Amino acid sequence: MHACSRGLISCTLMRGRSRLPLWLREICAYVRLLVRSLYFNALTDSDVVFDSVFEPVFWTVDHVTRWFGMVFVCLVVILTSSIVLIAYVVLLPLVLNTYSPVWIAWHLCYGHWNLVMIAFHYYKATKTSPGSPPTVKNDIPFVSVCKRCIIPKPARTHHCGICNRCILKMDHHCPWLNNCVGHFNHRYFFSFCLFMTMGCVYCSVSGRNLFLDAYNRFKHMDMEKPGVPVTGMGLLIGILPPGQTNYQTPPPPYTFKDKMIHKSIIYMWVLTSTVGVALGGLTIWHAVLISRGETSIERHINNKERKRMAKRGKLYKNPFSYGRLNNWRIFFGVEKRSHWVTRVLLPSGHAPYGDGLTWDIYPVKKDMMPV
């Protein structure tokens, strides 16, 4: 009798639960999975607990970043185009009228070269896939299995929650590119940051005097009033006719066109100076990582391994670092001296060194690409 009662009660509960909406049942199952993941086996540590507790936060950030990716790309295009428009409409006529032919040639050559390098590398960084490991069965060596993709992960491969896939030699997900920075577009990303910083510094330095002049004139525009009140002794000595209390000054010498030119110069200098400082710091940071032969993610992994090995009295060395100069050669794909010009200083779409699936590990430093 008691067994039948228990069965009837369980059936009733199951029927009541099945009547819940599908989306509510999925949320309940997801919450139960998060709770069970806190004690699913003996390998549970603080990292697993942290990931489980903050999983909803990570999910929200990933989806918001994914939705706003195109907004950031459009913002980069609009801001860059506005600076180029000011350079052609406002600055170029001033350069042609005031500078010597040598300086005119320098500004024209350097400015257009820098602009071409920025546009080329930004386009390639956004449109080039960073690379993903194959999903079919293969004999490629791997170091772990992705817990989300459930596929083998080769060395230096990490999962991107925003792209929802594994990325070869992943550095980070860049919202300004709406793309991951990985093995096949890492060079394009760094080159874009480098040449954009150079362009911003060029505009900031060359336009400093124009900015100071425009700022001083813009500041004095508000001080020029169409009328100045005359009071006190002015009324007594009869400076103005009877009944008139304001002395009409001549109209300001600045036209609407002059005001727009001054505001454009101020806007250009403030924007390029701000971006130059912020992006310059990011570029220097990535240059340090490239010199060490590691990515942004690998830096944290390597630091953790160094501390772990130091406790055991051992020294940890990055297995993917081949020396500072060789790291730069591998990163840019430089195999001979002419490549420093054709592949670094000029637009080049050559493929990076290796396939991103396997990596040569050298226990000692040696010249991999003799020059």
Q: Which residues are catalytic?
A: 174
Tell me the chain's radius of gyration from C-alpha atoms. Answer: 31
Nearest residue to 261 (alpha-carbon basis) of 213, 312, 200: 213
Nearest residue to 171 (alpha-carbon basis) of 286, 249, 278, 62: 286
| Residue 165: strand, helix, or coil | strand
| CB of 208 closer than 8 Å to CB of 298 | no
Q: What is the 3-state secondary structure (H, E, C) of 29-83?
A: HHHHHHHHCCCCCCCCCHHHHHHHHCHHHHHHHHHHHHHCHHHHHHHHHHHHHHH
Q: What is the dihedral of CA 331, 167, 318, 189, to 10 degrees?
A: 30
| CB of 208 closer than 8 Å to CB of 197 | no
